[in-house]
Amino acid sequence: MLTKMKTQAIPKPTKIVAVGLNYRDHAKELSMNVPSEPCIFMKPATSVIWHGEKIIYPAQSKKVDYEAELAVVIGKTAEKIDKSEVNKYILGYTCANDVTARDLQKKDGQWTRAKSFDTFCPLGPVITDEIDPNNVAVRAFVNGELRQEGHTSSFIFGVEYLVSFISHVMTLNEGDVVLTGTPKGVGPIVVGDKVEIEIEGIGVLCNYVESGVVV
Protein backbone atom coordinates (compact mmCIF):
# COMPACT_ATOMS: atom_id res chain seq x y z
CA MET A 1 0.00 0.00 0.00
CA LEU A 2 1.07 3.55 -0.59
CA THR A 3 2.32 5.54 2.36
CA LYS A 4 2.15 9.29 2.52
CA MET A 5 5.53 10.91 2.99
CA LYS A 6 6.09 10.87 6.76
CA THR A 7 2.38 10.50 7.55
CA GLN A 8 -0.55 8.18 6.95
CA ALA A 9 -1.49 5.12 4.88
CA ILE A 10 -3.71 5.50 1.84
CA PRO A 11 -7.05 3.67 1.75
CA LYS A 12 -7.68 1.48 -1.28
CA PRO A 13 -9.77 3.36 -3.84
CA THR A 14 -13.38 2.46 -4.59
CA LYS A 15 -12.69 3.54 -8.18
CA ILE A 16 -10.11 5.09 -10.46
CA VAL A 17 -11.37 7.87 -12.70
CA ALA A 18 -9.04 8.44 -15.61
CA VAL A 19 -8.79 11.27 -18.10
CA GLY A 20 -8.04 10.55 -21.73
CA LEU A 21 -6.29 12.93 -24.10
CA ASN A 22 -5.25 15.58 -21.58
CA TYR A 23 -2.09 16.46 -23.51
CA ARG A 24 -2.36 17.84 -27.06
CA ASP A 25 0.70 15.93 -28.24
CA HIS A 26 -0.77 12.61 -27.07
CA ALA A 27 -4.04 13.25 -28.91
CA LYS A 28 -2.01 13.97 -32.03
CA GLU A 29 0.02 10.75 -31.80
CA LEU A 30 -3.24 8.76 -31.55
CA SER A 31 -4.79 10.75 -34.45
CA MET A 32 -7.63 11.88 -32.18
CA ASN A 33 -9.23 15.29 -31.81
CA VAL A 34 -8.38 17.50 -28.85
CA PRO A 35 -11.41 17.40 -26.52
CA SER A 36 -13.39 20.52 -25.62
CA GLU A 37 -14.08 19.08 -22.16
CA PRO A 38 -12.44 16.26 -20.19
CA CYS A 39 -12.88 12.79 -21.65
CA ILE A 40 -13.26 10.52 -18.63
CA PHE A 41 -13.37 6.75 -18.23
CA MET A 42 -13.00 4.37 -15.30
CA LYS A 43 -10.72 1.58 -14.17
CA PRO A 44 -11.95 -0.79 -11.45
CA ALA A 45 -10.38 -0.99 -8.01
CA THR A 46 -9.30 -4.54 -8.91
CA SER A 47 -6.82 -3.09 -11.44
CA VAL A 48 -4.73 -1.51 -8.65
CA ILE A 49 -1.32 -2.88 -7.73
CA TRP A 50 1.45 -1.18 -5.79
CA HIS A 51 5.10 -0.38 -6.32
CA GLY A 52 7.10 -3.59 -6.82
CA GLU A 53 4.16 -5.79 -7.75
CA LYS A 54 3.76 -7.54 -11.13
CA ILE A 55 1.85 -6.31 -14.17
CA ILE A 56 0.19 -9.39 -15.66
CA TYR A 57 0.16 -9.46 -19.48
CA PRO A 58 -3.31 -10.79 -20.39
CA ALA A 59 -3.64 -13.67 -22.83
CA GLN A 60 -6.39 -11.78 -24.70
CA SER A 61 -4.02 -9.04 -25.86
CA LYS A 62 -1.10 -8.89 -28.28
CA LYS A 63 -0.16 -5.25 -27.63
CA VAL A 64 -0.01 -3.81 -24.11
CA ASP A 65 1.24 -0.24 -23.61
CA TYR A 66 2.58 1.76 -20.67
CA GLU A 67 1.16 5.24 -19.98
CA ALA A 68 2.97 7.41 -17.42
CA GLU A 69 0.58 9.60 -15.43
CA LEU A 70 0.31 11.82 -12.41
CA ALA A 71 -2.32 10.44 -10.01
CA VAL A 72 -4.42 12.52 -7.64
CA VAL A 73 -5.52 10.79 -4.41
CA ILE A 74 -8.75 12.10 -2.91
CA GLY A 75 -8.67 12.79 0.83
CA LYS A 76 -12.37 13.14 1.66
CA THR A 77 -15.76 12.85 0.01
CA ALA A 78 -16.04 15.31 -2.87
CA GLU A 79 -19.42 16.01 -4.44
CA LYS A 80 -20.07 18.92 -6.80
CA ILE A 81 -17.15 20.96 -5.53
CA ASP A 82 -15.96 24.23 -7.01
CA LYS A 83 -12.58 24.52 -8.67
CA SER A 84 -11.46 26.95 -5.96
CA GLU A 85 -12.19 24.34 -3.26
CA VAL A 86 -10.46 21.34 -4.84
CA ASN A 87 -7.20 21.50 -2.86
CA LYS A 88 -9.12 20.94 0.36
CA TYR A 89 -10.21 17.54 -0.94
CA ILE A 90 -6.85 16.26 -2.19
CA LEU A 91 -4.76 14.04 0.05
CA GLY A 92 -1.78 14.10 -2.28
CA TYR A 93 -0.20 12.91 -5.51
CA THR A 94 1.59 9.79 -6.68
CA CYS A 95 2.88 8.06 -9.82
CA ALA A 96 0.61 5.90 -11.95
CA ASN A 97 0.84 3.65 -14.97
CA ASP A 98 -2.41 3.51 -16.94
CA VAL A 99 -1.59 0.15 -18.53
CA THR A 100 -3.63 -0.35 -21.69
CA ALA A 101 -4.30 -3.25 -24.05
CA ARG A 102 -4.04 -1.05 -27.13
CA ASP A 103 -5.21 -3.66 -29.62
CA LEU A 104 -8.37 -4.30 -27.61
CA GLN A 105 -9.00 -0.58 -27.24
CA LYS A 106 -9.04 -0.26 -31.04
CA LYS A 107 -10.99 -3.47 -31.54
CA ASP A 108 -13.74 -2.69 -29.03
CA GLY A 109 -14.24 0.95 -29.99
CA GLN A 110 -14.49 1.85 -26.30
CA TRP A 111 -12.00 1.54 -23.50
CA THR A 112 -13.41 -0.57 -20.68
CA ARG A 113 -11.85 -3.96 -21.41
CA ALA A 114 -8.55 -2.49 -22.57
CA LYS A 115 -8.07 -0.51 -19.37
CA SER A 116 -9.57 -2.81 -16.76
CA PHE A 117 -7.52 -5.99 -16.49
CA ASP A 118 -6.29 -6.92 -13.03
CA THR A 119 -2.89 -5.24 -12.38
CA PHE A 120 -3.47 -2.52 -15.02
CA CYS A 121 -3.22 0.38 -12.55
CA PRO A 122 0.15 0.40 -10.75
CA LEU A 123 0.41 3.18 -8.14
CA GLY A 124 3.26 4.38 -5.92
CA PRO A 125 5.80 4.45 -4.47
CA VAL A 126 4.64 7.20 -2.06
CA ILE A 127 2.13 10.01 -1.94
CA THR A 128 3.07 13.62 -1.32
CA ASP A 129 1.25 16.92 -1.10
CA GLU A 130 4.47 18.88 -1.54
CA ILE A 131 4.45 19.38 -5.31
CA ASP A 132 2.70 21.70 -7.74
CA PRO A 133 0.76 19.07 -9.74
CA ASN A 134 0.42 21.35 -12.73
CA ASN A 135 4.17 21.89 -13.03
CA VAL A 136 6.14 18.62 -12.81
CA ALA A 137 7.99 16.39 -15.27
CA VAL A 138 6.55 12.95 -16.11
CA ARG A 139 8.70 10.17 -17.57
CA ALA A 140 8.51 6.48 -18.40
CA PHE A 141 11.47 4.11 -18.67
CA VAL A 142 11.44 0.56 -20.01
CA ASN A 143 14.45 -1.55 -19.04
CA GLY A 144 16.25 1.65 -18.09
CA GLU A 145 15.64 3.37 -21.44
CA LEU A 146 13.73 6.66 -21.49
CA ARG A 147 10.61 6.06 -23.60
CA GLN A 148 8.22 8.84 -22.61
CA GLU A 149 8.73 12.39 -21.36
CA GLY A 150 6.29 15.20 -20.77
CA HIS A 151 5.39 17.97 -18.36
CA THR A 152 2.11 18.66 -16.60
CA SER A 153 2.39 22.33 -17.52
CA SER A 154 1.15 21.03 -20.90
CA PHE A 155 -2.15 19.78 -19.48
CA ILE A 156 -5.21 20.76 -21.51
CA PHE A 157 -7.19 20.69 -18.24
CA GLY A 158 -5.41 21.33 -14.93
CA VAL A 159 -5.86 19.24 -11.79
CA GLU A 160 -8.32 21.61 -10.12
CA TYR A 161 -10.56 21.72 -13.19
CA LEU A 162 -10.46 17.94 -13.59
CA VAL A 163 -11.36 17.10 -10.00
CA SER A 164 -14.16 19.66 -9.95
CA PHE A 165 -15.51 18.42 -13.29
CA ILE A 166 -15.50 14.78 -12.18
CA SER A 167 -17.12 15.63 -8.84
CA HIS A 168 -20.08 17.07 -10.76
CA VAL A 169 -20.49 13.73 -12.55
CA MET A 170 -19.92 11.33 -9.65
CA THR A 171 -19.08 11.53 -5.97
CA LEU A 172 -15.40 10.95 -5.27
CA ASN A 173 -14.76 8.97 -2.09
CA GLU A 174 -11.79 9.02 0.24
CA GLY A 175 -8.97 7.09 -1.39
CA ASP A 176 -10.33 7.36 -4.92
CA VAL A 177 -7.77 8.14 -7.60
CA VAL A 178 -7.93 10.52 -10.54
CA LEU A 179 -5.48 9.80 -13.36
CA THR A 180 -4.67 13.03 -15.18
CA GLY A 181 -3.71 11.75 -18.64
CA THR A 182 -0.47 10.81 -20.34
CA PRO A 183 1.89 12.76 -22.60
CA LYS A 184 3.08 11.58 -26.01
CA GLY A 185 5.42 8.63 -26.23
CA VAL A 186 3.23 5.73 -25.13
CA GLY A 187 4.51 2.39 -26.34
CA PRO A 188 4.53 -1.36 -25.89
CA ILE A 189 5.77 -3.51 -23.05
CA VAL A 190 6.43 -7.24 -23.16
CA VAL A 191 6.82 -10.04 -20.66
CA GLY A 192 10.03 -9.59 -18.65
CA ASP A 193 10.19 -5.80 -19.02
CA LYS A 194 10.99 -3.51 -16.13
CA VAL A 195 8.68 -0.47 -16.29
CA GLU A 196 9.42 2.68 -14.31
CA ILE A 197 7.25 5.78 -14.01
CA GLU A 198 9.08 8.80 -12.65
CA ILE A 199 7.43 12.03 -11.55
CA GLU A 200 9.42 15.01 -10.40
CA GLY A 201 9.13 15.52 -6.64
CA ILE A 202 7.52 12.12 -6.02
CA GLY A 203 9.92 9.36 -7.05
CA VAL A 204 9.90 6.24 -9.22
CA LEU A 205 7.16 3.61 -9.49
CA CYS A 206 8.68 0.29 -10.60
CA ASN A 207 6.90 -2.86 -11.81
CA TYR A 208 7.89 -5.89 -13.85
CA VAL A 209 5.74 -7.50 -16.55
CA GLU A 210 4.79 -11.15 -16.10
CA SER A 211 2.91 -13.52 -18.41
CA GLY A 212 -0.75 -14.18 -17.75
CA VAL A 213 -0.62 -17.37 -19.78
CA VAL A 214 -0.79 -20.59 -17.76
CA VAL A 215 1.85 -23.05 -18.95
Residue 39 structural domain: 3-211
Sign, CA dihedral 129-130-133-136, equals negative
Tens digits of residue pLDDT in 166-204: 999 999 999 999 999 999 999 999 999 999 999 999 999
Count of domains forming the chain: 1
The answer to whether 103 and 184 are in contact (CB under 8 A) is: no
Cβ atoms < 10 Å from Cβ of 85: 13
Supply the pTM of this predicted model: 0.93
Residue 67: half-sphere exposure toward Cβ, Cα within 13 Å: 26
Strands (E), the chain: 3-4, 16-20, 39-43, 48-50, 54-57, 64-66, 68-74, 90-97, 100-101, 121-128, 137-142, 145-151, 177-179, 187-189, 194-199, 203-211
Rg (CA), the chain: 16
Amino acid 9: pLDDT: 54
The average pLDDT across 127-137 equals 96
Q: Which of 8-12, 107-111, 199-203 has the highest mean pLDDT?
A: 199-203
Which residues, 6+ apart, have CB-to-CB distance to 5 below 8 Å? 92, 126, 127, 128, 130
The domain spanning residue 143 has which CATH number? 3.90.850.10
State the Cα–Cα distance between residues 147 and 141, nearest whole angstrom. Answer: 5
pLDDT band at 8 (very low <50, low <70, confident <90, very high): very low
Q: Which uninterrupted H or E stretch holds 92?
A: strand 90-97
Supply the DSSP symbol for 29: H
State the Cα–Cα distance between residues 202 and 20, nearest whole angstrom. Answer: 22
For residue 141, the one-letter residue type is: F
Top pLDDT among 188 and 9 is at 188
State the Cα–Cα distance between residues 130 and 20, nearest whole angstrom. Answer: 25
35 φ/ψ angles, rounded to the nearest 5 degrees? -75, 150
